[in-house]
């Protein structure tokens, strides 16, 4: 399994989808919006695109390891949903 070398995505997962994230946010996309208020969208889009090149099994395993408090499968679909949300925000 490859290392997960995506620091911004890792930060989002650990700092915004932490153990009590549901007390702060209605959804994972609300947490993402809060994170994106810091203008992290360009780099995060790049990291998501790179992460999507990893095999599905490795991606699922890595995301489970990186973020134990929020996890959904398949991870690829979730990352695609995040990417779509970011692109829609940028289009507004």
Q: SS3 for 15?
A: helix
pLDDT in tens, 25-47: 999 999 999 999 877 889 999 99
Q: Please, which pLDDT band fits residue 1 given cuts at 50, 70 and 90?
A: very low
pTM given for the model? 0.86
Return the domain boundaries, the chain. Answer: 7-91
Tens of pLDDT, residue by residue over 5-15, are: 788 888 998 88
User: For residue 15, is the peptide bond before it cis, meaning its omega torsion is within 30 degrees of 0?
Assistant: no
DSSP state string for 51-70:
HTTS-HHHHHHHHHHH-SSS
- 3-class state of residue 31 by DSSP: helix
């Amino acid at each position: 399994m490859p290392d997960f070398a995506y620091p911004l995505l890792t930060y989002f997962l650990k700092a915004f989808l932490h153990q009590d994230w549901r007390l702060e946010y209605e959804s994972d996309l609300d947490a993402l919006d809060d994170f994106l208020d810091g203008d992290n969208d360009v780099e995060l889009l790049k990291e998501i695109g790179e992460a999507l090149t990893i095999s599905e099994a490795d991606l699922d395993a890595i995301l489970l390891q990186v973020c134990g408090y929020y996890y959904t499968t398949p991870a690829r679909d979730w990352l695609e949903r995040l990417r779509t949300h970011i692109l829609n925000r940028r289009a507004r």
